[in-house]
Amino acid sequence: NAGVTQTPKFQVLKTGQSMTLQCAQDMNHEYMSWYRQDPGMGLRLIHYSVGAGITDQGEVPNGYNVSRSTTEDFPLRLLSAAPSQTSVYFCASSRGQGFGELFFGEGSRLTVL
C-alpha cells in the first residue's frame, strides 16, 4: 500500500529554471493538496484540489501552477524558480476536504541557487 508518493525527494535548481514535483496517491482520495514547509512557519498551503478537473489557490500560490487531470495525480509546477522557493514540499490527500485525516508524502526538498 504505497499511500502518497512524491518524486523527486531532492532537487537543486538554478534561478529561472522550471520543474515539476510529482505527487500520486493510490487511496482514491478526492482531496489533494500541496504545502511548503519553512523553519518556524509550519506548513503553508500552496494549492489544493477537491477532485479531478478542480483546483484552487491556497495561502501562498504565487509562482506555482497545478492541474488535476486524474484522481490519482496532482503535480506542482514551478514556472521560473526563485531562491525564495527553496523549501520542503509536501503533498497530502484525504477523503474529505479538510475534515478527514490528511495523508502526507515524505516530502521533496528543493534548493534554488
Partner 1 sequence: AQSVTQPDIHITVSEGASLELRCNYSYGATPYLFWYVQSPGQGLQLLLKYFSGDTLVQGIKGFEAEFKRSQSSFNLRKPSVHWSDAAEYFCAVVPNAGNMLTFGGGTRLMVKP
User: Which residues between 41 and 80 bind partner 1 (CB under 8 A)?
Assistant: 41-45, 48, 58-59
User: Can residue 34 be called a binding residue for partner 1 (CB under 8 A)?
Assistant: no
User: Can residue 40 be called a binding residue for partner 1 (CB under 8 A)?
Assistant: yes
Closest distance of CB 106 from partner 1, Å: 5
Give CA–CA dist 43/56, Å, rounded. Answer: 17
| Residue 17 or 27 with smaller CB distance to partner 1 | 27
- The count of chain residues that interact with partner 1, using the rule CB under 8 A, is 23
- Residues lying near partner 1 in the complex (CB under 8 A) are found at 4, 33, 35, 40-45, 48, 58-59, 90, 92, 97-99, 101-102, 104-107
